[in-house]
Amino acid sequence: MSRECEDLATRVNLLLTLGEGCSAINSSEVRLTGGRGEVEDIRTAERDRVRYFKSLEDIPELSEDERDELEPVARIYPFRSNDYYLSLIDWDDPNDPIKRIVIPCLDELDNGGTLDPSNEKSNYVAKGVQHKYSPTALFLVSKVCGGICRFCFRKRLFAASRKEASLDISEGLEYIGQHDEIDNVLLSGGDPLILSTKRLERILASFRRIPHVKMLRIGTKMPAHNPYRIIRDPMLLRVLSEHSNPQRRIYIMTQFNHPRELTPQAVRAIALLQDSGVLLANQTPLIRGVNDDPDVISELFNRLSHSGVTPYYLFQCRPTRGNRCFSVPMEEGYGMFEEGKKTMSGLAKRARYVMSHTSGKVEILGLDEDSIYLKYHQARDPEDMGRFFSAPRVEDALWLEDLGASDEMHHFAEMES
């Protein structure tokens, strides 16, 4: 092998060890000839390098007419994805579920709903920190994701004027440090795994210096959007391993929405995370055109369980502005979930079907001829915790307020006024 190829192979290995991928290697370098095995490794590394796109112009599979038609949507609700995730789309299928997850659609211009459907603005106690439930703090540490899901309930964060996420965590750390009832912190955004590993390490180390914070959760879709973020960063796995221990675990809260996202690369990323000592659980909204099918739900939850990822929440799609086209009525969603359970293993059935209402996480438990039955799985008001209640059935109800003027609705109206 030539000395030039030998030097390049050494450079590639160094970049991979540092977790930088091959972003510094240009296309002319991979055309060098020499030892076949080393050059093939370089070609593979170059092929696996993930490139991010923020413009519909970067997607050749969309026609010029399609890009022009969708551009007004992307101006309001930005587009972001990468070549790995876009490669999962079957472009010959107009109803492809991966395409629906990440490519804008005209129905998003429907202005029904609100940009803050769960009234998160009322939960802020410090810069970037929400404290809605006594033992849990939510910390928005990033406003960027590996890809922007079209049904995102925090799409307001991607508007340039929003300042909810905070890169300065000092104020939030001080608040959490002063509140010893908080024993677990959920890092979210945006996606924390879009941050550099060094920055993430500083964040994790800061929380490990707070004795009463026993558990850290990292909410991320990166194993689905870009599993190479995990596969090609040994430093990330080392950092997670150092900060997750038997007494104070880190949980990775993944978001796989459809079985097609569970590629060999994604499954590999899951295994590496597990080997680093973290625990994994999955949550997904029920999304029209993506997973609103009992067979799809069953396959997704079974395959997650086979990989050792706990199905955690199936969320009712929140009434965020522009998201009505993704919403499934509660009665229909409950029927899908229960039908899907018939072909799930017991371990795959651990998920709960809930809505993240401003008053708490309301679990949808069942139906009879006249009523829908619900329960507070988590609640803003401690007196509501575990409260079981019913409301008259409304076939097209998408959210709690759609169930009509019951006593509970009066209670909620008084609480929110």
The DSSP-derived string for 121-153 is: GGGEEETTEEEEETTEEEEE--S--SS--TT-T
pLDDT value of residue 161: 58
Q: Which domain holds residue 390?
A: 120-416
Q: Are residues 402 and 332 in the same domain?
A: yes
pLDDT tens digit sequence for 68-88: 999 999 999 999 999 999 999
Backbone angles phi, psi at 243, to 5 degrees: -105, 0
Q: Are residues 303 and 245 in the same domain?
A: yes
Q: Is the dihedral of CA 23, 26, 29, 35 positive or negative?
A: positive
Q: Does position 1 have pLDDT exceeding 80, yes or no? A: no
What lies within 8 Å, CB to CB, of 282 at 6+ separation is: 253, 254, 255, 256, 304, 309, 310, 311, 312
Backbone angles phi, psi at 327, to 5 degrees: -85, 145
pLDDT tens digit sequence for 189-203: 999 999 999 999 999
Mean per-residue pLDDT of the chain: 87
Q: How far is CA 318 from the centre of its chain?
A: 14
Indicate the number of domains in the chain: 3
pLDDT tens digit sequence for 166-197: 888 999 999 999 999 999 999 999 999 999 99
pTM of the model: 0.86
pLDDT value of residue 34: 35
Judging by DSSP bridges, how do beta strands 124-126 and 129-133 pair with one another?
Answer: antiparallel
pLDDT value of residue 36: 37
Give the CATH number, domain containing residue 211.
3.20.20.70
Q: How far is CA 389 from CA 237, 331, 378, 393, 405, in A?
A: 44, 16, 14, 13, 14
Q: Does position 11 have pLDDT exceeding 70, yes or no? A: no
Q: How far is CA 416 from CA 117, 119, 138, 229, 378, in A?
A: 12, 9, 21, 41, 17
pLDDT value of residue 157: 85
Q: Are residues 228 and 267 in the same domain?
A: yes
Choose the final residue of a domain: 86, 109, 132: 109
> How much of the chain, in percent, has pLDDT values that exceed 70?
84
Q: Report the pLDDT averaged over residues 257-272.
A: 98
- The lowest-confidence range among 43-57, 95-109, 222-236 is 43-57
CA distance 157 to 351: 27
pLDDT tier, 160 (very low <50, low <70, confident <90, very high otherwise): low
pLDDT value of residue 158: 81
Backbone angles phi, psi at 122, to 5 degrees: -80, -5
Q: Are residues 133 and 204 in the same domain?
A: yes
Evaluate whether residue 95 is within a structural domain.
Answer: yes
pLDDT value of residue 37: 40
What lies within 8 Å, CB to CB, of 209 at 6+ separation is: none
Q: Are residues 43 and 66 in the same domain?
A: no
Backbone angles phi, psi at 241, to 5 degrees: -60, -40
CA distance 380 to 130: 12
Q: How far is CA 86 from the centre of its chain?
A: 17
pLDDT value of residue 155: 86
Q: Does position 416 have pLDDT exceeding 60, yes or no? A: no
Q: Are residues 59 and 177 in the same domain?
A: no
Q: Are residues 81 and 131 in the same domain?
A: no
CA distance 9 to 38: 6
Choose the final residue of a domain: 30, 48, 66: 48
CA distance 85 to 50: 9
Evaluate whether residue 115 is within a structural domain.
Answer: no
Q: Are residues 153 and 9 in the same domain?
A: no
Q: Which residues pair with 217 in a beta bridge?
A: 186, 251
Evaluate whether residue 280 is within a structural domain.
Answer: yes
User: H or E stretch including 349?
Assistant: none
Q: Does position 358 have pLDDT exceeding 70, yes or no? A: yes
Q: Report the pLDDT averaged over residues 116-122.
A: 93
Q: Does position 412 have pLDDT exceeding 50, yes or no? A: no
Q: Are residues 153 and 252 in the same domain?
A: yes
SS3 280: strand
Evaluate whether residue 114 is within a structural domain.
Answer: no
pLDDT tens digit sequence for 375-393: 999 999 999 999 999 999 9
Q: Report the pLDDT averaged over residues 217-234.
A: 98
Q: Are residues 154 and 273 in the same domain?
A: yes
Q: Are residues 60 and 126 in the same domain?
A: no
Q: Own/partner pairs for 68-76, CB < 8 Å, 24+ apart?
A: 69/106, 70/103, 70/104, 70/105, 70/106, 72/109, 73/104, 73/105, 73/106, 73/108, 73/109, 74/104, 76/108, 76/109, 76/322
Q: Are residues 102 and 205 in the same domain?
A: no
What lies within 8 Å, CB to CB, of 42 at 6+ separation is: 8, 9, 12, 22, 25, 29, 30, 32
What lies within 8 Å, CB to CB, of 312 at 6+ separation is: 253, 281, 282, 283, 350, 351, 352
